[in-house]
Amino acid sequence: METLALKLVMTPALIAVASLAGRRWGPEISGWPVGLPFTSGPIAFFLALGHGLAFAAITATGTMAGAISQAAFCVVYARLVFRSGAAIGFGAGTIAFVASTVALERLPIPLLPLFALVIACLGVALRLMPRTVETASAASQCRPRGDIVARMALATAFVLLLTGVAPALGPRLTGLLAPFPVYAAVLAIFAHRIQGPAAAASVLRGLLLGLFAFTAFFLVLAALLERTGVALSFAAAIATAVALQAVSLRMLRLRVDEGGEGARLLSLGP
């Protein structure tokens, strides 16, 4: 009962804080905050409390690997959305995520080589993304009413569902499924409907930049959970993610500044 109460309070609170922080720093980075583990992090936390440190550590390793599946989703969605629209882009991106998940589940790799592979895949994904420039004035229109409440509800439902079925799925598959980009997909679809495909691609590029901190978070968590316990491992993982996320924020702002203040979204083609 106490764990359920934590899920119902902590998860929506984290999502609300993340969403408001993204707005405070500027709408042009709307995709960047969702790269942080605001749902997959709580999933690992609750699994550590409910199923033990070893189970949660394996889940953390799987979640780190799942960043590759997120990157596949982003690239496929962003490249197809220019030609085929949001629905086909989302569907194809989801298929890419599932295919990557199936491949990763059958490919056990030690923690440090897996980390190197994830980082390399994120770098390749950024190179494959359509090049777009987004500014604050254009992105500020991508804020449907009630979106924060909707995100909070979706996050809580996702955490409850995945932690509930985790024993049946096993720790690795639970971890691989945890990073499914629910919020990034919602943001991208809204952005596309309001401003066009370049806006959707910008959201997903922001997510990819945020995934470097995401990957480091779960590397630290997987390495330390069984050695140091829940409190110290999560504290170290959060500190690492925050530091790297600050670097990625700087990179994203430099990219936006290159587009020129007040410019509209520009697509250079997929």
Structure tokens at 137: 């004035």
Amino acid at 176: L
Alpha helices by DSSP H, the chain: 2-25, 40-51, 53-84, 86-105, 111-128, 136-139, 147-169, 171-177, 182-195, 197-258
Q: Is the pLDDT of residue 142 over 50?
A: no
Q: Is the pLDDT of residue 266 over 90?
A: no
Amino acid at 131: R
Given CA atoms 137, 187, 129, 112 in this order, what sign does their dihedral have?
Answer: positive
Task: Give me the number of domains the chain comprises.
Answer: 1
Q: What is the DSSP letter of 129?
A: S
Q: Is the pLDDT of residue 239 over 70?
A: yes
Q: What is the pTM (predicted TM-score) of this model?
A: 0.77
Q: What is the DSSP pairing of strand 266-267 with strand 132-133?
A: antiparallel
- 78 contacts 204 by C-beta, under 8 angstroms: yes
Tens digits of per-residue pLDDT, 93-128?
A: 999 999 999 999 888 889 999 999 999 999 999 999
Exposure string over 116-126, b if 16+ CB within 10 A, otherwise e = ebbbebbeebb
Residue-level pLDDT at 54: 93
Rounded to an integer, the average pLDDT of 22-46 is 67
Q: Within a 10 A sphere around the Cβ of 167, how many other Cβ atoms?
A: 13
State the residue range of the domain holding 31.
Answer: 2-267
